[in-house]
Amino acid sequence: MASEPSDTARRHLPPERDLRTLRSAASGCTACPLHLSGTQTVFGDGPADAVLMLVGEQPGDAEDVAGEPFVGPAGKLLDRCLEAAGIDRRRVYVTNVVKHFKWVPRGKRRIHGKPNAREIRACLPWLEAEMEAVSPRVVVCLGATAAQALLGSSFRVSRQRGEFVASPIAPYVMATAHPSALLRQPDEDSRRVERARFIADLRKVAEVLVRPDVP
C-alpha cells in the first residue's frame, strides 16, 4: 500500500522511548516507500550512554543485508579513521538519517540512490527519538544529507566543515565529510589528502570528548 505524502514515522513511535523499544518499533516502519525496497530497517547501533553520536545518510548495500549501520566499506574506513583519531568506536553511537537502503539496479548490483526530502522527513522522528534516548554531548554529521537534515537546508559542509556550530541538538555539533566521499576520490593522492582531513576533523572531536568542560 502506498504511503500518504504527509506520512512520517511519528505514528510508529512507541510510548517507551528506550533504544531497544525504538529499534523494535522501527523494524515495522512503513512511513515511506523505502520499506518496500530495503531488506530491513537499519536502526542505529551503540551504547545508550554514548557521549558521541555519528550520523550518516542511509544504510548501504552491506548494511541493508546485515541490519547494522556502517559495516560495509565506508564503515570499515570510518573505523580506521576513528582509531587514528583516538576515538573508541565501541563507545560511539552510529546511526543514519534514513533507516532503509534506497537503491537502483545496475546489472546485478544495487547502486546507492540519494534519499529525497520526503523520505528524509518521514524518517526523521526515528533520529530525533534516538537523540532523545542517547542524549549525546557531541554529534557529528557525516556528509551533506545528515548536516542539512539536522542543521538546516542552507548548511554547507563545504563552508563549515570541521567547525563546531551552535545547535540546539547537542552542546557540540560538527559536520564533516562522509567516509564514502573518501572512497570515491579518483586517485591515491587525493584519497590520502581527504583521509588526513577527515582524521583531523575527528581529532578535534576527540579533544572535545576528553575536555573536562564538556557539560
Which residues sit at the interface with ligand URA, rule CB under 6 A?
A: 56-60, 63, 69-70, 72, 74-75, 96, 180
Distance CA 62, CA 54 (A): 18
Element (H, E) at 209: helix 188-210
Distance CA 82, CA 54 (A): 11
State which residue, 59 or 125, has the beta carbon closest to ligand URA. 59
Residue nearest to ligand URA as judged by C-beta position: 56
Element (H, E) at 85: helix 73-85
Q: Which whole-number Å values give the CA distances from 177 to 16, 34, 54, 134, in the listed order?
A: 34, 25, 12, 23
State which residue, 74 or 177, has the beta carbon closest to ligand URA. 74
Q: How far is the CB of 16 from ligand URA (least distance, A)?
A: 25
Q: How far is the CB of 58 from ligand URA (least distance, A)?
A: 6
Residue type, 204: K
Q: How far is the CB of 211 from ligand URA (least distance, A)?
A: 27
Residue 55, SS3 per DSSP: strand
Distance CA 206, CA 200 (A): 10
State which residue, 75 or 136, has the beta carbon closest to ligand URA. 75
State which residue, 72 or 136, has the beta carbon closest to ligand URA. 72
Distance CA 86, CA 201 (A): 12
| Cβ burial 3-20 (10 Å sphere, 16+ → b, else e) | beeebbbeebbeeeeebe
Q: Which whole-number Å values give the CA distances from 169 to 43, 123, 129, 152, in the listed order?
A: 19, 17, 12, 12
Q: How far is the CB of 215 from ligand URA (least distance, A)?
A: 28
State which residue, 79 or 128, has the beta carbon closest to ligand URA. 79
State which residue, 77 or 206, has the beta carbon closest to ligand URA. 77
Q: How far is the CB of 76 from ligand URA (least distance, A)?
A: 10
Q: How far is the CB of 97 from ligand URA (least distance, A)?
A: 8
